[in-house]
């Protein structure tokens, strides 16, 4: 069950919200834990056992670490931390890099579990004494498939102040509907157009560039749409998560891009890898090493094939160049130029990302720059352009804050009328998205496979 | 925390670790049977594959290309290239009796891959490369063979659709036997050795 499926939309989500709202305050987190396990079992019953074992294992690990640290037995605590991290990463590695069936959400819930262990070990957070609450943290259904990866520190803060009322539903639902719209009516259409191009054995340069743009926007709308749905669902249940995307295609450099794209993963690597290695409070050579490690790990996290590693290196190189070489020079370029340059780097990076291997990616780059291409443009280029120009332009505009600002402006200016129009627009999004789901054959989230 | 409580926690911790190892080990040997309807799986697979360069094949074509009779296997769906120069192909099989049919189907697929590689080797490098990167994925009673520009996408949809219907597996004895044979390194008759790519990735 995905967040954009009809059973979730019209059964699981309303039942979850109403049930959680209906039970007494002290029982809500328990109800949510059960609902999360039901949600996971719905799509992946076999791996529910692994999720439960992993949760119990990490619960015990947290309690043991806490006890050992309390008694100043640092050596023993370090042993348990290393062993626990090894078990968590071992499970993830086996499922991710062997031919075994991939349990849904394992990359995301493993990183949540590691966040818990690191936070407890570094004494940043009080250990979780209620095993059900830890199960809820690891398996909370809005975030288990594709994040956002909420750190335990932030989760504990949210949990300590958890409350749920109708206002949360009013605030979460629009975000959910925007995410649904992004996924079903934009990302899936971009994806259909991209699939048509990707299956070609040879492309004209223009078509290869169009394909790159289609995929770049598809990934953005797919993943940010999912994140909006996840954050919106969580909000309806009284959990206020930070945003996972902040208009990344309006970034002025590649470091800025990564502060706006998949923010929760970037934060995780910053908090648990980059900063513990010394962050930027060390020599330049050491900083370069730290950044290189972070970007290699980011590439490896995304997949086992070499193209993901190259994709990580690609971004690592530009982040390092941006930080140490280009920083001041870039400031001479006007903002719009820097945004376009950043988008070009990010978009070219997606070629590594969507290609099944390094060879395919190099072939695609070759087509883009005229090597082995079927000319600069051909009938397919014109066809793809004609079919998708409106969609691409809408996607480009929608990836900036313009639409949001316009909505805010008119909603504020027109007051009650604006509110009524907003409600009608959101209902329209729901109707159109539902029609889109019914009309489509099958759709999954791109990031679910990571 | 009392000493006894702490000891219990440590024991539970290592029991969980051992259980996780056993569970993961069992996944290498368990032959999960999916209850997902063939229509659901085929819809998922077809919806994630570009079919514009393929045409649907009938039982006769399946016999010709793969050498087995679909009526003796279960449900079979074939999409094969529109022209001889195409390498795009999709075969989806749901076996009534995986134990007796899996070898027949996988052998048919291997022969088809070899035949296509021989056809394209030397003069059609892109088609040859596509066949090399094709995916044969055995998931219990389902088998997918996909040769396309993005076989992973189809395979992901396949796994999700099949996984959604996975509910039953072999009995406990079978699981334990499979686990021990896996741990001892002896060969198993597992048909869940998923994703055997036709060739090495880059």
Of B32, B50, B130, the CB nearest to A46: B32
Question: Are the C-beta atoms of residues A400 and A250 closer than 8 Å to each other?
Answer: yes
Summarised one tens digit per residue, pLDDT across range A103-141 is: 889 999 999 999 999 999 986 678 999 999 999 999 999
> What confidence score (pLDDT) does residue B182 get?
37
pLDDT at B202 over 50: no
Q: Å from B39 to nearest chain A CA?
A: 12
- When pLDDT is cut at 50, 70 and 90, the band that residue B171 belongs to is very low
The answer to whether A61 contacts B152, with C-beta atoms less than 8 Å apart, is no
Of B24, B48, B163, the CB nearest to A91: B24
Contacts of A198 in chain B (CB under 8 A): 50, 149-150
Give the Cα separation of A72 and A84 in Å (integer): 19
A337-351, A407-421, B3-17: range with lowest mean pLDDT: A407-421
> What confidence score (pLDDT) does residue A199 get?
65
Summarised one tens digit per residue, pLDDT across range A52-111 is: 999 999 999 999 999 999 888 889 999 999 999 999 999 999 988 776 777 889 999 999
Of B20, B152, B159, the CB nearest to A57: B20
Contacts of B161 in chain A (CB under 8 A): 442
The answer to whether A356 contacts B133, with C-beta atoms less than 8 Å apart, is yes
- When pLDDT is cut at 50, 70 and 90, the band that residue B71 belongs to is confident
pTM of the model: 0.75
Summarised one tens digit per residue, pLDDT across range A159-193 is: 988 889 889 999 999 999 999 999 999 999 998 88
Of A56, A196, A358, the CB nearest to B202: A358
The answer to whether B159 contacts A63, with C-beta atoms less than 8 Å apart, is no
Residue of B nearest to A59 (CA): B13
> What confidence score (pLDDT) does residue B175 get?
37
Summarised one tens digit per residue, pLDDT across range A309-365 is: 999 999 999 999 999 888 778 888 899 999 999 999 999 999 999 887 888 899 999
Give the Cα separation of A248 and A350 in Å (integer): 14
Summarised one tens digit per residue, pLDDT across range A11-29 is: 999 999 999 999 998 899 9
> What confidence score (pLDDT) does residue A449 get?
63
Alpha helix (H) residue ranges in A182-250: 188-198, 205-236
Question: Are the C-beta atoms of residues A441 and A434 closer than 8 Å to each other?
Answer: no
> What confidence score (pLDDT) does residue B139 get?
85
Question: Are the C-beta atoms of residues A104 and A147 closer than 8 Å to each other?
Answer: no
Give the Cα separation of B147 and B133 in Å (integer): 7
Contacts of A85 in chain B (CB under 8 A): none
Give the Cα separation of A59 and B145 in Å (integer): 41
The answer to whether B43 contacts A61, with C-beta atoms less than 8 Å apart, is no
Element (H, E) at B20: helix B3-27
> What confidence score (pLDDT) does residue B166 get?
52
- When pLDDT is cut at 50, 70 and 90, the band that residue B123 belongs to is confident
- What integer is the mean pLDDT of B10-28? 93
Give the Cα separation of B16 and B12 in Å (integer): 6
The answer to whether A199 contacts B156, with C-beta atoms less than 8 Å apart, is no
Burial class (CB in 10 A: 0-12, 13-18, 19+), A157: middle
Give the Cα separation of A127 and B18 in Å (integer): 23
The answer to whether A57 contacts B166, with C-beta atoms less than 8 Å apart, is no
Share of chain A above pLDDT 90, in %: 68
Residue of B nearest to A361 (CA): B202
Sequence-distant (6+) residues with CB within 8 A of A204 are: A367, A373, A374, A375, A376, A377, A378, A380, A381
- What integer is the mean pLDDT of A213-226? 95
Q: Å from A291 to nearest chain B CA?
A: 26
Give the Cα separation of A145 and B180 in Å (integer): 32
> What confidence score (pLDDT) does residue A448 get?
66
Strand partners, B74: B95
Residue of A nearest to B26 (CA): A100
Give the Cα separation of A85 and A35 in Å (integer): 27
> What confidence score (pLDDT) does residue B170 get?
36
Which of A161, A162, A262, A302 is catalytic? The answer is A302
- The phi, psi pair for A345, rounded to 5°, reads -65, -45
Does the annotation count A404 as an active-site position? no
Q: What is the DSSP string of B62-109?
A: HHHHH-S-HHHHEEEEEEEESSTT---EEEEEEESSHHHHHHHHHHHH
> What confidence score (pLDDT) does residue B75 get?
92
> What confidence score (pLDDT) does residue B27 get?
82
Sequence-distant (6+) residues with CB within 8 A of A259 are: A246, A251, A266
> What confidence score (pLDDT) does residue B103 get?
80
Nearest to A258 by CA among A327, A312, A326, A334: A312
Give the Cα separation of B109 and B51 in Å (integer): 19
Q: What is the DSSP string of A106-124?
A: HHHHHHHHHHHHHHHHTTS
Summarised one tens digit per residue, pLDDT across range A240-283 is: 999 999 999 999 999 999 999 999 999 999 999 999 999 888 89
The answer to whether B150 contacts A49, with C-beta atoms less than 8 Å apart, is no
> What confidence score (pLDDT) does residue A339 get?
95
Give the Cα separation of A195 and A289 in Å (integer): 38
């Amino acid at each position: 069950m995905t967040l954009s499926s009809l059973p979730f939309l019209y059964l699981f989500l309303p039942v979850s919200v109403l049930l959680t709202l209906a039970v007494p305050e002290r029982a809500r987190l328990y109800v949510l834990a059960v609902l999360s396990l039901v949600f996971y079992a719905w799509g992946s019953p076999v791996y529910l056992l692994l999720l439960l074992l992993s949760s119990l294992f990490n619960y015990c690990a947290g309690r043991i670490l806490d006890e050992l640290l309390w008694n100043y037995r640092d050596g023993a605590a370090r042993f348990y931390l290393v062993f626990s991290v090894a078990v968590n990463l071992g499970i993830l590695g086996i499922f991710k890099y062997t031919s075994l069936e991939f349990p849904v959400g394992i990359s995301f819930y493993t990183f949540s579990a590691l966040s818990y262990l690191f936070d407890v070990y570094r004494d940043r957070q009080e250990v979780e004494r209620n095993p059900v609450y830890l199960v809820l943290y690891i398996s909370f259904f809005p975030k288990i498939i594709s994040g956002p990866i909420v750190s335990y520190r932030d989760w504990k803060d949210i949990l300590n102040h958890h409350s749920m009322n109708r206002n949360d539903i009013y605030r979460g639902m629009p975000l959910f509907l925007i995410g649904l719209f992004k996924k079903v009516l934009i990302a899936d259409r971009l994806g259909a157009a991209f699939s048509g191009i990707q299956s070609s054995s040879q492309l004209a340069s223009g078509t290869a560039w169009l394909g790159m743009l289609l995929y770049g926007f598809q990934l953005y709308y797919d993943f940010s749409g999912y994140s909006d749905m996840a954050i919106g669902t969580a909000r309806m249940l009284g959990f206020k998560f930070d945003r996972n995307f902040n208009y990344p295609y309006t970034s002025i450099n590649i470091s800025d891009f990564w502060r706006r794209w998949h923010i929760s993963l970037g934060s995780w690597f910053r908090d648990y890898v980059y900063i513990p290695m010394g962050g930027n409070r060390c020599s330049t050579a050491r900083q370069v090493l730290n950044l290189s490690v972070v970007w290699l790990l980011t590439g490896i996290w995304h997949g086992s094939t070499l193209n993901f590693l190259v994709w990580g290196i690609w971004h690592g190189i530009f982040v390092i160049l941006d930080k140490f070489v280009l920083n001041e020079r870039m400031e001479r370029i006007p903002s719009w130029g820097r945004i376009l340059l950043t988008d070009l780097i990010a978009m070219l990076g997606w070629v590594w990302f969507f290609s099944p291997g390094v060879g395919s990616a190099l072939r695609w780059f070759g087509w883009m720059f005229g090597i082995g291409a079927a000319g600069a443009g051909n009938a397919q280029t014109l066809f793809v352009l004609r079919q998708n120009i409106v969609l691409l332009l809408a996607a480009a505009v929608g990836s900036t804050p313009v639409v949001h600002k316009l909505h805010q402006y008119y909603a504020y200016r027109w007051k009650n009328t604006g509110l009524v129009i907003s409600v009608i627009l959101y209902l329209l999004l729901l109707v159109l998205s539902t029609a889109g789901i019914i009309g489509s054959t099958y759709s999954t989230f791109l990031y679910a496979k990571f | 925390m009392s000493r006894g409580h702490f000891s219990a926690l440590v024991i539970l911790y290592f029991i969980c670790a051992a259980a996780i190892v056993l569970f993961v080990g069992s996944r290498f040997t368990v032959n999960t049977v999916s209850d997902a309807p063939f229509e659901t799986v085929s819809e998922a697979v077809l919806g994630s594959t570009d079919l514009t360069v393929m045409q649907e094949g009938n039982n006769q074509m399946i016999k010709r290309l793969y050498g087995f009779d679909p009526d003796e296997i279960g449900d079979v769906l074939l999409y094969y290239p529109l022209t001889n120069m195409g390498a795009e192909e999709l075969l989806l099989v749901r076996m009534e009796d995986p134990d007796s049919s899996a070898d027949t189907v996988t052998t048919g697929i291997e022969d088809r891959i070899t035949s296509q590689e021989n056809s394209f080797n030397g003069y059609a490098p892109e088609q040859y490369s596509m066949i090399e990167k094709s995916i044969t994925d055995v998931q219990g009673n389902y088998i997918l063979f996909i040769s396309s520009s993005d076989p992973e996408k189809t395979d992901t949809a396949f796994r999700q659709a099949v996984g959604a219907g996975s509910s039953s597996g072999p009995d406990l004895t079978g699981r334990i036997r499979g686990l021990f044979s896996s741990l001892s390194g002896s060969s198993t008759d597992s048909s869940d050795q998923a994703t055997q790519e036709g060739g090495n990735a880059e």
